[in-house]
Each structure stands twice: as structure tokens, then as C-alpha cells.
Amino acid sequence: MMSRPKLTISTRALVCQDNDLRGEIIVGAGTVLHPQCRVWATGGPIMFGSGNIVEEHVVIINRGPEPLIIGDHNVFEVGSVMEGMKIGNRNTLEVKAHVKTGTWLGDECVIGTVCSTHENEILPDRTVIYGDKNDRRIYSGNKANQMSVHMRHLEYLMQTLPKFNHSRTST
């Protein structure tokens, strides 16, 4: 095993045991890391805000020297890959979505299933990338609704996951 990760986990966060964490990682309150996810702070630290969900097979890598700051209430669905520079709040990386190196995500973006961004770009708020050809549009839906669903989702995970999984604490 590599050098032990340096974890700073909020007491109100839930980080499952069975996953692969490397480097310096700070996990904010209410954030949930499912088993089988991979968070590698090989360069600078990775800092999660509050209320994020990181599902299995997710890869979050920070290779650069700067810290990778992840805002609040983002969802990283199964198999998504985050290599970007910065991510705002309430973004969704759907299943197998890929945010490439050097990219910044604003707020409330949706990177659709199996879609990817380009390298080194800045996505404005409410960008959605979807479909075979990575089409883009700016959507105008109502996120407030989805926020309440997100909060309930977190609540559920906080209750259910510890029944079946061991969790980690700060090192």
C-alpha cells in the first residue's frame, strides 16, 4: 500500500471503508463516499465541501499542485471521472461522465451519462452536456426541487450505509 492517506473527515460525513483514498483529502460535513470509489490527491489536496455524494467506481484525481476544491451538494454518480480543476455547487456528474483535466465547472451543471467535457475549459452555470455527440445547452429548469430530493438522498444514505458498511474517520 502507498503511504497512508491524510484524511480530515468531518464527524458528520460518511466515508465508507472499502475504497481507495490517497494523499490529503478533506471531507466536509454531510458528504458521503460510497464504497469502491477512488479519490487520489496525488498532487495537491482534494477538498470536499458539504453534502456531496460520491458513488462507487468514481475516480477523482488531483494531479496538479493546486488544491482541488469541490463545492457543496455535488453528485458524482457511478463510474464518473473528475480530473478537473474546480467544481462549484450542485453539479451532477451522471454515470460515467468525465470532466477532463484543467476544466472548471460552474454551478448546477449536468455532465450527462457517458458525456465528457473538453480539456481546459470553463463551463458556465447550468450547462448540460448530453447525448452521443456531447451536445450542449444551457437549461433553465428548477433546481430547488432537486435540492430537496438531494437532501433526502443524503439523509437516506447516512441512515442506511452504516448498517452494511464500515466507515472511516480522520487520520
- Which positions touch other proteins (CB under 8 A)? 18, 35-36, 56-57, 78-79, 95-96, 110, 112-114, 118, 128, 130-137, 139-142, 145, 148-149, 152-153, 155-156, 159-161, 163-165
What single letter denotes the amino acid at residue 21? L
Closest separation in Å from C-beta 24 to other proteins: 26
Closest separation in Å from C-beta 161 to other proteins: 7
Q: Which is nearer to other proteins, 31 or 117 (CB)?
A: 117
Closest separation in Å from C-beta 119 to other proteins: 9
What single letter denotes the amino acid at residue 84? G
Q: Is 51 helix (H, G, I), strand (E, B) or coil?
A: coil
What single letter denotes the amino acid at residue 72? D
Count CB atoms within 10 A of the CB of residue 156: 11
Q: Which is nearer to other proteins, 148 or 169 (CB)?
A: 148
Q: Which is nearer to other proteins, 124 or 171 (CB)?
A: 124
> Rounded to 5 degrees, what are φ and ψ at 6?
-100, 105
Q: Which is nearer to other proteins, 41 or 161 (CB)?
A: 161
Give the total residue count for the chain.
171
Closest separation in Å from C-beta 78 to other proteins: 5
Give me the numbers of helices (H) and strands (E) for the chain, helices first please. 1, 18
